Copies of this chain bind each other. A is one copy, B any other.
Amino acid sequence: MIGKLNHVAIVVPDIEAGTATYRDTLGAAVSDPIDLPDHGVTTVFVTLPNTKIELLHPLGAESPIAKFLEKNPGGGIHHVCYEVEDILAARDKLKADGMRVLGDGEPRTGAHGKPVLFLHPKDFHGTLVELEQV
């Protein structure tokens, strides 16, 4: 069912410092910081030859990653995102297998303008999993 690893999301306490580490220290291609108010994050895309790293920092009072940063003030790896061809078929299969979809269970438009879902980390051995239809 799952295809490519679309990205690894990493929460950083300072988006400028995080960007500098990936650009200057690790020598990767990075985007400018992009505010995504609908998702409550500022993100920087780090483009690797085969996938992306997304650096995330909370944006606004309701940011869904604010709690993660409170718990992990130094930052940390937040989730992995796998691509699927048909997100509704994937969701229905996962639900039939007893997996919990976060929120109301309906796909929403993700940071790339495509339908996404998040799956409960307790059902995936402690890993928050995002699915993105491509």
Q: Which residues of A approach B to under 8 Å, CB–CB?
A: 1-5, 8, 10-14, 17-18, 21, 24-28, 48-51, 53, 72, 74-77, 79-80, 82, 94, 97, 99, 121-127
Asked whether, in the complex, the Cβ of B17 is within 8 Å of the Cβ of A125, the reply is yes
Asked whether, in the complex, the Cβ of B8 is within 8 Å of the Cβ of A26, the reply is no
Asked whether, in the complex, the Cβ of B75 is within 8 Å of the Cβ of A21, the reply is no
- Taken together, the copies of this chain in the complex come to 2
Residue of B nearest to A9 (CB): B77
Residue of B nearest to A14 (CB): B125
Asked whether, in the complex, the Cβ of B5 is within 8 Å of the Cβ of A53, the reply is yes
Asked whether, in the complex, the Cβ of A125 is within 8 Å of the Cβ of B50, the reply is no
Asked whether, in the complex, the Cβ of A99 is within 8 Å of the Cβ of B25, the reply is yes
Residues on the B chain within 8 Å of A74, using CB:
121-122, 125-126
State the CA gap A51–B48 with chains docked (Å): 11
Asked whether, in the complex, the Cβ of B125 is within 8 Å of the Cβ of A26, the reply is no
State the CA gap A94–B27 with chains docked (Å): 10
State the CA gap A94–B72 with chains docked (Å): 24
Residues on the B chain within 8 Å of A5, using CB:
5, 8, 48, 50-51, 53
Asked whether, in the complex, the Cβ of A80 is within 8 Å of the Cβ of B8, the reply is yes
Residue of B nearest to A48 (CB): B5
